[in-house]
Amino acid sequence: MKTTRTTRFAALAAFASAALLIAGCSSGGAPAESTKPATPSVYINAIVADPISFNPQVTNSPATTAFGAAVFDQLVYIDAESAIHPMLAKSWEYSDDKKTLTFTLEKGVTWHDGEPFTADDVKFNFEEIMPLQTYGASLVKSIDSVDAPDDTTVVLHLNSEYGPFFETLALQAIIPKHIYEGTDYITNPANMAPIGTGAMKFESFSSGAEVILVKNEDYWRGDVKVDKAIYPVMSDTNTRALALISGELDNASIDASQLDQIAGKPELVHLESGFFAQAVVVEMNTKNEYLADPAVRALVFSALDRTAFADVALAGYGEPADGFFPSTMGWAKDETIDFDKDFPHDVKAINKALDKAGFPVGADGVRFTLDVKYIQELTDTVAMASQAKSMLADVGIGVNLEAVTSAIFTDQIYVQNNFDLAFLRTTVSADPGLGISRWYACNPDHMAARNPSGVCDEEIDAAVAGANSTTDREERGEYFRDMQQRAKDLIFFAPLVWTNASFPTVNTTRWDGLTELAEGTPSGAVNWLTMKWKG
């Protein structure tokens, strides 16, 4: 039985068609075949909660990133194979001494409000906006100054090399100077009613209901094939799954436990590629008296059965992590590290070692108790946290489970450091210098989505700094391998499983082109230019 909300969203998808049907009926009753309009194409993609912002430069969340990819463009984009391609910047060139980088921009690009996009917008973003963004802040430290000698030329004067320069640039949405200049960038109303240069234009947002985007008729990259995109807010995973299976949705993320329901239905496809690798990780607070010793942390990590997580919590839609880096980053992964050998899941041996470490089992059968926190909206981490409680009980460690909202998780884990263990799903991003090393480098300022463990290690920090100081991949790989060796010794943050369970599932009944990325499409983005409407 469909919920009221699901039925209402299905009605939204049919709204344009119904309106045209009515318009096609003349007052005299005779059909006007020559003027019959085409059925508008509507794309429906469920989201799990209200977006807290549509500006990915000031807010870091999956929903904001997804909307940002539709509404905004970048100077360059990165594809699923991590190759860099032109976007708003059609070309670039370094000076011989690598101290100057000159970008040539596309001509004739306009913002959604009709204002021209120029080099002044790009200069403004480098100087004012990128320093606010999670990854952009590190990029701009390598830039001394920015010039815009004409409308289509931007010149960066560099003070040093920055390893993941272009990978970072590919994650920077370019926002309009004429909308943001002289305002509070964080509270600017345009963050909730964005104006970009992208394929889709913002139309409306109704809290708790839906977000609606419409086709940018003047998109500089070509003809957008989607007339309207509707993003209904569906927090309940069962509702999303039912709506997806029935064809009321074109795209949605569902639980790993529900993915078996799509088996045997050729129109339903779980996407397994086209996105950066994701992991569910464990974070440890080394300020906790029980977790202060790296040897004890190693035993706690060993007690977490990574294979069982992949098989049960993720229903087979993932694989146990065997090291700190995914196989997709082989150039930087330390192949000498093997979690199965370095942290064997041997319950008997772990119990014996905990006894020896001075944590005997008490009369209640518990050695000590840990507070474990995780984000309640991330159903894979919810399932894994529940499994972890049983695993840790096998070695005499008690667990208090606490599911919290994303906002509370950010405050308690990264700002307050009020946790013992935390489970989180995270992405490795476009480069290990962006998505991985931040979890190991010292974080004295308690910045969100960075190392919350309390560990500040000179060897790790030197390795991270070295990897970020050069664009030579071979050198960077050596630095990253040094980081992994030290991370193994200290073991305070590590992936448990690599997973694609959270990747979306699409229903191809109404659209072709949902299952693969087209040439010229940023990694993980919708194929606005190549999708084909079947109705």
What is the structure's pLDDT at 524? 67
- Stated length of the chain: 535
Average pLDDT over residues 28-44: 64
The predicted-structure confidence for 385-428, as pLDDT tens digits, reads as follows: 999 999 999 999 999 999 998 889 989 999 999 999 999 999 88
What is the structure's pLDDT at 522? 65
Average pLDDT over residues 251-274: 87
Instruction: Give the pLDDT band of residue 256 (cuts 50, 70, 90).
Output: confident
- At 362, the amino acid letter reads G
3-state helix, strand, coil in the chain (%, to 5): 35, 20, 45
10 has a pLDDT exceeding 50: no
- At 403, the amino acid letter reads A
The predicted-structure confidence for 161-217, as pLDDT tens digits, reads as follows: 999 999 999 999 999 999 999 999 999 999 999 999 999 999 999 999 999 999 999
Question: Which of the residue ranges 3-12, 42-51, 159-168, 197-206 would you say has the lowest mean pLDDT?
Answer: 3-12
- The structural domains of the chain, ordered by start, are 4-69+198-273+503-533 (3.40.190.10), 73-180 (3.40.190.10), 278-499 (3.10.105.10)
311 has a pLDDT exceeding 50: yes
255 has a pLDDT exceeding 50: yes
Q: Sign of torsion, CA 428 434 436 439? A: negative
What H or E segment, with its residue span, contains residue 351?
helix 347-356
Measured distance CA(89)–CA(102) in Å, rounded? 10
- Gyration radius (Cα) of the chain, Å: 25
Question: Which of the residue ranges 7-21, 243-257, 291-305, 311-325 would you say has the lowest mean pLDDT?
Answer: 7-21
372 has a pLDDT exceeding 70: yes
The torsion angle over the Cα atoms of residues 170, 173, 176 and 181, rounded to 10 degrees, is -100
What is the structure's pLDDT at 441? 97
Which string of DSSP letters, residue by residue, matches 300-349? Answer: HHHHS-HHHIIIIITTTSEEE--SSS-GGGTTT--TT--HHHHS---HHH
What is the structure's pLDDT at 264? 86
Which string of b and e fits 473-486 if b means at least 16 CB within 10 Å? eeebbbbbbbbbbb
103 vs 519, which has greater pLDDT?
103
pTM: 0.83
Instruction: Give the pLDDT band of residue 500 (cuts 50, 70, 90).
Output: confident
What is the structure's pLDDT at 147? 98
| DSSP state letter for 517 | P
